[in-house]
Amino acid sequence: MTIQQIKYFLALSNELHFWRTAEKVFISQSALSRQIQSLEEEMGVQLFKRDKRNVKLTDAGKFLQEKWTATIKDFDQFTQQAKKIDEGTSGFVSISYPGSIAFKFLPNFLEVLKLNLPDLKLELVEPTDENHEQLLLNYNTDIAFSRDKIKNINIASVKLYSEPICLVVPKNHWLTKDSLMNLNDLKYEKFIISGLYKKTFFASLLRSFFEKNNFQPKAIIESDFGGMILSLVSKELGISILPKSFKLSKPKNIRFIELDEEIGLFINFRKNDPNKIVTRVVDYSKSLEY
């Protein structure tokens, strides 16, 4: 039994058609049939029921389809990780990040990497669910920048800096730093913010901030995308609260008013990762000035 035979089996179990499967895996139909027959004979298990028109999985085949799908996924992930380790300084690193750092920190960080590791290949991912912890544990990313510390015994988390969160308002809005005495002054304002029911860190931070100030915002639009929020505020459709980093995008017709609340930026990575290039990338992030 080989890994390739298992992959042929999984491909056929999804298609249930020898000719279409053979095309997808780039072998002849007869070669595919021989591979499947050899697998069944070696295992002593019938995996498919065949006739001239139909191909169906047996119950044993259905069981192995489910189990081997997960196994092959893990195998491919571990193989990819081994390749990264073997490649060393000219390897590949996947980085996930929140959109708010895309205007200063991330470009500066990438500039440092280009200067010091010119052959390093990078993949940048901005996950919508902000589940950086699972991305790291599943080897789908190597380094995760996040707004909260990941508390997992297998993950190292280092705080890089903190910054204020800000009220984001149109330029002609009545609100200023001096005129804001109490958040309840904003009870009639229309807010464009992340859904407070969500489990993301920023939604949790906003919930805590509002509770601390005994304030319930009137949310008319919910969005987790800072760029979209800035666009809507600039059109005077409402006001918002965002990390100060978004100010660096230089949005038009918008003012930022700092609030008495801060949000951090953490770099997270797997502990004892044998990929030495990840350690070097992490060290460069710590050396940046904030």
Phi, psi angle pair for 41, to nearest 5°: -65, -40
On whether both 214 and 181 belong to a single domain, the answer is yes
Residue 195 pLDDT: 86
Residue 239: give its domain's CATH number.
Answer: 3.40.190.10
Residue 20: give its domain's CATH number.
Answer: 1.10.10.10
Single residue among 23, 50, 85 that ends a domain in this structure: 85
On whether both 173 and 258 belong to a single domain, the answer is yes
Residue 136 pLDDT: 92
Single residue among 64, 85, 106 that ends a domain in this structure: 85
Single residue among 49, 68, 85 that ends a domain in this structure: 85
Q: What burial letters (b/e) apply to 188-207, b meaning 16+ CB within 10 Å?
A: ebebbbbeeebebbbbebbe
Q: Residue 3 has which token pair? A: 């890994």
On whether both 146 and 270 belong to a single domain, the answer is yes
On whether both 9 and 75 belong to a single domain, the answer is yes
User: What is the domain extent for residue 55?
Assistant: 3-85
On whether both 271 and 127 belong to a single domain, the answer is yes
Residue 230 pLDDT: 94
Q: Residue 257 has which token pair? A: 């008013």
Residue 88 pLDDT: 55
Q: Which stretches in the chain have pLDDT values below 50? A: none
| Counted domains in the chain | 3
What distance in Å separates the CA atoms of residue 130 and residue 135, rounded to the nearest whole number? 9
On whether both 132 and 276 belong to a single domain, the answer is yes
On whether both 166 and 258 belong to a single domain, the answer is yes
On whether both 154 and 169 belong to a single domain, the answer is no
* % of the chain exceeding 70 in pLDDT: 96
Handedness of CA 154, 130, 260, 243 (dihedral sign): positive
Residue 59 pLDDT: 87
On whether both 150 and 270 belong to a single domain, the answer is yes
On whether both 131 and 216 belong to a single domain, the answer is no
pLDDT tens digit sequence for 158-167:
999 999 999 9
On whether both 141 and 272 belong to a single domain, the answer is yes
On whether both 120 and 59 belong to a single domain, the answer is no
